[in-house]
Amino acid sequence: MAEYTVRFDSHPEPIDVPAGALLVEAARQGGVEIRQPCGGQGRCGRCAVRIESGQVRRRSVLRLSKADIEAGYALACQTVVEGDVSVVVPPPEQIQRRLTTDHIAPEALVPDGYDPEQVQTVRRVVLQLTPPSMDDQTDDWGRLETALRREADIHRLQKSLEQIRKLGPVLRSSDWNIALTYDTGREKNGTAQLIRVQPASQAEEEALCGLAVDVGTTTVTVWLVDLLTGTVMYQGSEYNQQISRGEDVISRIIFASKNDGGVELRDLVLQTINDLVEAACSKTGISAKAIVKATVSGNSTMMHLLLGIPPESIRLEPFITPINNLPLLRASDVGITMNSDGVVDPLPGVASYVGADITAGVLASDLRSSPATTLFIDVGTNGEIVLGSSEWLATCACSAGPAFEGAGVLHGMRADTGAIEEVWIDGTTFEPTSRVIGNVAPRGICGSGLISLVAEMFITGILDKGGHINQTLPTPRVRRTLHGAEYVVAWAAETESGEDIVITRVDIDNLLRAKAAIYAGFNVLADGVGIELESAEQVLIGGSFGKYINIEKAIDIGLLPDIPWEQFEFLGNTSVRGAYLALLDREARAEIAEIASSMTYIELSADNTFYEAFTSALFLPHTDLSRFPSVAAAMT
**Which residues of the chain form contacts with a copy of itself (CB under 8 A)?**
132-142, 158-162, 164-165, 167-169, 172, 307-310, 312-313, 317-327, 329, 333-334, 351-352, 601, 603, 605-606
3-state secondary structure of 384: strand
Q: Minimal distance in Å, beta carbon 267 to a copy of itself?
A: 15
Please say which residue, 54 or 322, places its beta carbon nearer to a copy of itself.
322
Residue 159 or 622: which CB sits closer to a copy of itself? 159
State how beta strands 374-379 and 383-388 pair.
Answer: antiparallel
User: Least Å distance between CB 134 and a copy of itself?
Assistant: 4
Residues, the chain, total?
A: 636
Question: Minimum Å distance from CB 106 to a copy of itself?
Answer: 32
Q: Which is nearer to a copy of itself, 328 or 473 (CB)?
A: 328
The nearest distance, CB 156 to a copy of itself, in angstroms, is 10
Handedness of CA 288, 294, 299, 301 (dihedral sign): positive
In terms of CB distance, is 316 or 632 closer to a copy of itself?
A: 316
End-to-end CA gap in the chain: 33
C-beta pairs of 136-140 under 8 Å, 24+ apart in sequence: 140/167, 140/168, 140/171
Determine the Cα–Cα distance for residues 318 and 633; give it in Å rounded to an integer. Answer: 43
The nearest distance, CB 355 to a copy of itself, in angstroms, is 11
Contact 437, 100 (CB under 8 A): yes
Q: Which is nearer to a copy of itself, 101 or 605 (CB)?
A: 605
Contact yes or no for 340/196 (Cβ under 8 A): no
- Smaller CB separation from a copy of itself, 183 or 552: 183
Q: Do residues 46 and 100 touch, judged by C-beta distance below 8 A?
A: no
Q: With contact defined as beta carbons under 8 Å apart, do 176 and 188 qualify?
A: no
Q: What letter represents residue 141's amino acid?
A: W
User: Which residue, 133 or 636, is less far from a copy of itself as judged by CB?
Assistant: 133
Q: What is the distance between the alpha carbons of residues 321 and 244, in angstroms, rounded to a whole number?
A: 24
Our CB check for a copy of itself shows the closer of 26 and 326 to be 326
Q: Are 365 and 541 in contact (CB under 8 A)?
A: no
- HSE (CB half, 13 Å, CA atoms) of 544? 21
Distance of closest approach, residue 142 Cβ to a copy of itself, in angstroms:
7
Residue 277 and residue 337: Cα distance in Å, rounded?
Answer: 7
Sign, Cα dihedral of 286, 288, 292, 298: positive
Smaller CB separation from a copy of itself, 22 or 167: 167
Least distance to a copy of itself, CB of residue 255, Å: 17
Least distance (Å) between residue 434 CB and a copy of itself: 42
Among 216, 121, 324, 330, smallest CA distance to 576 is for 216
Q: With respect to a copy of itself, which residue has the nearer C-beta, 54 or 308?
A: 308
Nearest to 573 by CA among 348, 229, 236, 323: 236
> What is the torsional sign of CA 11, 14, 19, 25?
negative
- State the Cα–Cα distance between residues 145 and 129, nearest whole angstrom: 10
Beta carbon of residue 536, minimum distance to a copy of itself (angstroms, whole number): 25
Q: How far is the CB of 396 from a copy of itself (least distance, A)?
A: 11
CA 550 to chain centre: 15
Q: How far is the CB of 184 from a copy of itself (least distance, A)?
A: 17
Q: Exposed, middle or buried, 480 (CB in 10 Å: 0-12/13-18/19+)?
A: exposed
Cα–Cα distance measured from residue 345 to residue 551, given in angstroms and rounded to the nearest whole number: 35
- Residue (10 or 191) nearer to a copy of itself, CB: 191
> Are 579 and 296 a contacting pair, CB within 8 Å?
yes
Whole-number minimum distance, CB 197 to a copy of itself, in Å?
A: 12
Other Cβ atoms less than 10 A from the Cβ of 54: the count is 16
Q: Which has the closest alpha carbon to 240: 335, 150, 164, 306?
A: 306
- In angstroms, give the least distance from the CB of 571 to a copy of itself: 27
Q: Which is nearer to a copy of itself, 255 or 404 (CB)?
A: 255
- Separation of alpha carbons 321 and 309, rounded Å: 10
Q: Which is nearer to a copy of itself, 206 or 264 (CB)?
A: 264
> How far is 196 from 194, CA to CA, in rounded Å?
6
Asked if 235 contacts 106 with a C-beta cutoff of 8 angstroms, the reply is yes
Q: Do residues 211 and 295 lie in contact, with contact meaning Cβ atoms separated by under 8 Å?
A: yes
User: Closer CB to a copy of itself, residue 329 or residue 488?
Assistant: 329
* CB 503, min distance to a copy of itself, A: 35
